[in-house]
């Protein structure tokens, strides 16, 4: 790690803590954890397994479900993820200093899209690969006049967006255009969350970029400052999370060396979650992204509705529209290393159809059988039907000669939480 990195890191941390207010001079000393034994006993070991398939009646010659990343293999059974996690969560009721951590490793086909650049991103040409998803330290610090400050330091999944890498945090098997193409997936750096009061949270942080690590292979701009931040509102039946990530992201050689660090990429996302009734939940996600280097813009909206039909079955629908203004963002990656090669500016076989407006609607169920053994309690089946369509005259689906203007896919996966 460079001296510049640590200087920027500590500066960002100090500024973020100051945003929450100073420690009261006459405040009592924060309480330490009761005992080391109690802290160790709160460490949790867990995992999950995800296996699925996406049927495509059009049987695309490419074998790729265009518009999908993690469910991109048409008419094939895939091991999406086998993940193992060790973590100690922060105590939400802590009144003193509290510490935690999270380490998560993953094996499967999803790893093709989740690597930190420079960390095993070219260690395998196989479909199933290993990936370090998270490796971070956590701290809660009491700050007078607030609900305290939470600090996350290391490598972590982005707080931006509605959908996440871990399938146990998503309703649908397939991912939205926003998740695939409109937000970061992971960061290296620091994130400070200041709980100003029970309603308002302020997020401020420094990262090395989008899916980047540090040093050789970590990205052309990993030594540059990137801002991650925004705010959250926690109301009675409504929450709002508005976050942005700003910094240079273009790979070496894509722009002249004298400007590559000066051309910024802006990834902006607003998430509104509304508990309409005790059962009906609405999630609205607004997304806008822009890159100064090419230049290029994109963005759209995704609307989710979920409703439990019984203790076992919950129904959901996701409708979305996403615009790629120049064909810079949305693509398909037939090679197992194509995604990271695109991020690094290396040769690849990725397909980009040009400027297109995409529409998609997905209808699905979450089925959670009861009376299962404790080790697999929470097993979920997620059948879905998805319809994608190009709304701007292009024919990207299948990307054979002529292509198709639309695509129907039928997906089903099984997510098994594992308790150790």
Q: What is the mean predicted confidence (pLDDT) over 357-367?
A: 98
| Pair type for strands 264-275 and 281-291 | antiparallel
State whether the Cα torsion 116-62-357-320 is positive or negative.
Answer: negative
pLDDT of residue 10: 46
Please check whether residue 23 lies inside any domain of the structure: no
Please check whether residue 14 lies inside any domain of the structure: no
> What confidence category does residue 401 fall into, taking pLDDT thresholds of 50, 70 and 90?
low
pLDDT of residue 400: 57
Residue 374: give its domain's CATH number.
2.40.160.10
Please check whether residue 220 lies inside any domain of the structure: yes
Nearest to 353 by CA among 307, 412, 410, 394: 394
Please check whether residue 121 lies inside any domain of the structure: yes
Its domain, for residue 106, covers 46-419
pLDDT in tens, 99-154: 999 999 999 999 999 999 999 999 999 999 999 999 999 999 999 888 999 999 99
Q: % helix / strand / coil in the chain, to the nearest 5?
A: 10, 45, 45
Token pair of 138, please? 């956590």
Domain count, the chain: 1
Radius of gyration of the chain (CA): 22
Please check whether residue 187 lies inside any domain of the structure: yes
Lowest mean pLDDT among 215-219, 321-325, 358-362: 215-219
Please check whether residue 6 lies inside any domain of the structure: no
From residue 305, give the alpha-carbon distance in Å to each of 284, 314, 376, 387.
9, 10, 27, 17
Q: What is the mean predicted confidence (pLDDT) over 30-56?
A: 84
Please check whether residue 24 lies inside any domain of the structure: no
pLDDT in tens, 70-107: 999 999 999 999 999 999 999 877 888 999 999 999 99
pLDDT in tens, 280-324: 999 999 999 999 999 999 999 999 999 999 999 999 999 999 999
Q: What is the mean predicted confidence (pLDDT) over 223-250?
A: 97
> What confidence category does residue 402 fall into, taking pLDDT thresholds of 50, 70 and 90?
low
- The span from the CA of 85 to the CA of 77, in Å, is 24
Please check whether residue 17 lies inside any domain of the structure: no
Which DSSP state fits 178? I
Token pair of 301, please? 């909206």
Whether 23 shows a pLDDT value over 80: the answer reads no
């Amino acid at each position: 790690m460079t001296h510049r990195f640590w200087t920027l890191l500590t500066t960002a941390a100090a500024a973020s803590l100051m945003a929450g207010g100073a420690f009261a001079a006459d405040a009592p000393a924060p309480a330490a954890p009761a005992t080391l034994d109690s802290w160790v006993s709160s460490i949790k070991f867990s995992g999950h397994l995800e296996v699925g398939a996406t049927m495509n009646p059009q049987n695309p010659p490419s074998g790729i479900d265009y518009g999908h990343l993690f469910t991109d293999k048409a008419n094939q059974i895939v091991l999406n993820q086998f993940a193992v996690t060790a973590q100690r969560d922060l105590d939400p009721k802590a009144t003193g200093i509290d510490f935690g951590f999270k380490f998560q490793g993953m094996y499967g086909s999803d790893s093709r899209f989740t690597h930190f650049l420079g960390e095993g991103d070219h260690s395998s040409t196989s479909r199933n690969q290993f990936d370090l998803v998270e490796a971070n330290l956590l701290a809660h610090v009491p700050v007078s006049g607030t609900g305290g400050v939470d600090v996350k330091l290391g490598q972590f999944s982005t707080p931006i967006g509605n959908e996440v890498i871990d399938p146990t945090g998503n309703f649908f098997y397939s991912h939205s255009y926003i998740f695939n193409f409109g937000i970061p997936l992971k960061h290296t750096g620091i994130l400070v969350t200041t709980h100003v009061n029970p309603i308002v949270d302020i997020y401020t942080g420094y990262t090395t970029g989008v899916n980047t690590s540090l040093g050789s292979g970590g990205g052309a701009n990993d030594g540059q400052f990137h801002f991650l931040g925004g705010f959250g509102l926690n109301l009675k039946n409504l929450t709002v999370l508005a976050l942005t990530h700003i910094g240079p992201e273009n790979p070496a050689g894509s722009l002249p060396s004298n400007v590559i660090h000066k051309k910024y990429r802006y990834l902006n996302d607003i998430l509104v979650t509304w508990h309409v009734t005790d059962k009906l939940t609405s999630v609205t996600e607004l997304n806008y992204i822009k890159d100064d280097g090419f230049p290029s813009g994109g963005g759209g909206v995704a609307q989710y509705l979920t409703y439990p039909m019984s203790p076992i079955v919950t129904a959901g629908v996701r409708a979305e529209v996403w615009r790629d203004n120049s064909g810079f963002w949305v693509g398909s990656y037939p090679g197992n290393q194509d995604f990271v090669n695109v991020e690094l500016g290396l040769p690849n076989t990725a397909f980009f159809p040009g400027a297109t407006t995409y529409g998609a609607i997905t209808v699905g169920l979450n089925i959670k059988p009861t009376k299962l053994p404790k080790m697999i309690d929470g097993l979920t089946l997620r059948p879905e039907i998805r319809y994608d369509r190009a709304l701007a005259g292009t024919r990207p689906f299948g990307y054979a000669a002529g292509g198709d203007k639309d695509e129907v896919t039928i997906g089903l996966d099984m997510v098994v939480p594992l308790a150790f």
